[in-house]
Structure 1
Amino acid sequence: MAHNRVKESCSDQAVYYLVTNRIAGGRMLFKDVEKYKFKELLFAGSAKLSYQVIDYVFMDNHFHLLIKVPPTSEMDDLELLSRYRLYRKNEEINFINSEQKDDFREQIHDISFIIGNFEQRFVQWFNREHQSWGRLFGQRFDSEMIEVSAQSDSLLRVMAYISLNPVRAGIVTDPKDFFFCGYADRLAGGSVGDCDNDFFDLFCRNIETEDEKSKRKHFREVFRAYMLGLRRYKNADSQTLAEFFREVNLSEKLAWDDLFIHKCRFFTKCLVIGSEAFVREKLAKFSGKMKWKRIHEPYTEDEWNDIYSLKPRRRSG
């Protein structure tokens, strides 16, 4: 079923998204070979479309991505044409007119097109590999717009949420030991860490250094301390289960899918994550277009250190 999505294309600033999708029925279909293919297609696609992978984790039945979509003005016409030729698999093709060129520029900066292209290519490969057919994912992917600024540590929290997936699942005790995640990738010097020196300027304000390599190193040290400080929370991405049971008046014998949906509610079942001011800004900008049946307000929990999400609530009365 189609659902609302908050997204925008900016000519002068990057936009960040947390992206999640799950296999239909919760089946555990992603083994090592599927995860390798996920990574291959994800990074290969960035040469044709306009995005950068900031973080990722590939689990047995779902994935999380943190995607940066750069400003549209950052790409000149020569680079745009190069990506168009890669996308069309034709080294001699040209744009018919300026309208087609502008449409393609917008398209490759659109999170729906970027992830839709990635998922389609993976499903086609998966069906060929396993001689299967039909849908693989249970629904359209979820996406949340993330604030990346010195006013909020939302980026760190989202990265920690992604990296701690295999820890919460009991696969490893330290995310550096899980091969299919961005944290292990960036420690190994992978391209997933190319933006880390930019994040140093936002989150390492008390550390003085001008060397780019040192900036990346210090940011990763700060992030590791931040992430491991959250590891004690078994359900750090939502209310405690006890609070949830009291709120909805249910026993603790919930079906696995109820537990799963509850666990992902704060991060993957909202639309925006950031400071209260950031969430209110996006609420004011997009609420008129969404045709919501419920009231939406910034939502947070005590342990979230002033990080808010955009969460619907029922109308009173």
Structure 2
Amino acid sequence: MRRKRMIIKGQTSYYHVMSRTVNGEALFGDWEREVLRKMIWQVADFSGIRVVTYAVMKNHFHVLVEVPAEVSISDEELVRRYRRLYPQPTPWNPMPAEVLEGHLRENTSEGRDLRKSLLRRMGDVSWMMKTLKQRFAMWFNRSRDRFGHLWAERFKSVLVEGDRWALRTVAAYIDLNAVRAGLVEDPKDYRFCGYAEALGGSRMARVGLSVVDKDLAVYRQTLYGAGAGEKDEKKSISREEAVRVLEEEKGKLPLSVVLRCRVRYFTDGMVLGSAAFVEEHVQTESSGGKRPKRAHAMSGADWGGLAVGTGLRKGLFR
């Protein structure tokens, strides 16, 4: 059964959201990944949602987003966002931004309805992901003379505590996707992730990662392990070796090494943060006499006290 996304009212909240292609097919080359990268920024800007970091892969993508508390939006800003999403009229959205601007300025009946409709779409992760995936799927199918479903599922999401350590750990896991897939040895060399885009000079990407650390050099220590030697910093191990150390030997691995494994905490953990934060939010899922849910401490590495909202009975690794 699909879990409902937890929504925090009245305060800034963070979500790790992700989606995969049908059957996990590797459909995205450089061109497709570049288009999807640009669409992520475009749709997030319209929605008033900040992209902290992201990774676009050959068959899936991840985004860590900051959803602001409810704020008032001026008509001028609403038109700017509308123009960002719809720079030109389309068959499914034929109204030019200038027409919208006129309706809002004159406060016509249609303008009031449009204002209300657009405001409902602001600061909503579900709407952002739906729009992003639909727009990309339409572009992809047209460019390939293809039809049918592109995405395997609606999307997955994990609520993340707005604590720098929790956010930094999730961001590092996302930025290390290409390293984990064996495409590059250093995420700075993978152009379709937030870390590489920030190092490349993108203001938006730098502003996003400033949420986890003002200094990218300090953030890099999370990616590679503070104080580690160059040779050890970039060490990756196989899933089989990680399972042997953690499950058979009941040991621990360095955080920088575990982050290079496909860890289910980040995709299936439901809520991720301090034990107190997780306990508070998993209680909203308990009802109807079910056993109260509780926080589960993350194991296998020194996670700095992080916990998740599910025990992951099927194992830590995917």
Shorter-chain TM-score above 0.5: yes
Contact 1:295 1:313 in 2 (8 A): no
Aligned residues: 275
Q: C-alpha separation between the residues in 1 aligned to 2:270 and 2:55?
A: 20
The whole-number CA distance in structure 2 between the counterparts of 1:195 and 1:225 is 18
Percent identical among aligned pairs is 31
Which runs of structure 2 are paired with 1:45-84 in the superposition (5 Å)? 45-73=43-71, 75-84=73-82
Alignment equivalent of 1:120, drawn from 118, 134, 140: 134
- Give the aligned partner of residue 295 of structure 2: 298
TM-score (norm 1): 0.76
Q: How does 1:1-317 map to 2 (within 5 A)?
A: 3-8=2-7, 10-11=9-10, 13-73=11-71, 75-84=73-82, 89-91=95-97, 92-93=99-100, 94=103, 96=110, 101-102=115-116, 104-149=118-163, 153-190=165-202, 191-200=204-213, 216=214, 219-229=215-225, 232=235, 234=237, 240-242=242-244, 263-288=262-287, 296-299=293-296, 300-303=298-301, 304-311=303-310
**Residue segments in structure 1 that go unaligned for 5+ positions in a row:** 201-215, 247-261
Q: Partners of 1:48 and 1:187 in 2: how far apart?
A: 24
Q: How far apart are the structure 1 equivalents of 2:8 and 2:115?
A: 16
Distance 1:61 1:271 in 2: 22
- Cα 1:7–1:23, aligned 2, differ >3 Å: closer, same or farther? same
The answer for the alignment partner of 1:209 in structure 2 is none
Which amino acid in structure 2 is aligned with residue 194 of structure 1?
A: V
Alpha-carbon distance in structure 1 between the residues aligned to 2:306 and 2:162: 12
Separation in 1 of the partners of 2:312 and 2:67?
30
Tell me the amino acid that sits aligned with residue 273 of structure 1.
L
Stretch of structure 1 that moved more, 101-110 or 301-310:
101-110
**CA separation in 2, counterparts of 1:185 and 1:266?**
26
- In structure 2, stretches of 5+ residues that fail to align are 87-92, 105-109, 226-232, 249-260, 314-318
| Matched residue SS, 1:48 | helix
Query: TM-score by structure 2 length?
Result: 0.75
**Partner deviation per Cα, 1:49-88 (whole Å, 9 max, x = no partner):** 2212111111111111111222221533442354356555
Distance 1:146 1:231 in 2: 26
What corresponds to 2:254 in structure 1? none
SS at match of 1:73: coil
Whether the aligned pair in 1 keeps the contact of 2:53 and 2:209 (CA below 8 Å) is no
- Aligned-partner SS, 2:35: helix
State the distance in 1 between where 2:289 and 2:115 align. 34
Contact 1:16 1:69 in 2 (8 A): yes
Post-superposition CA distance 1:91-140 (Å, at most 9, x none) = 22346476764553232211111011000000000100111111111111
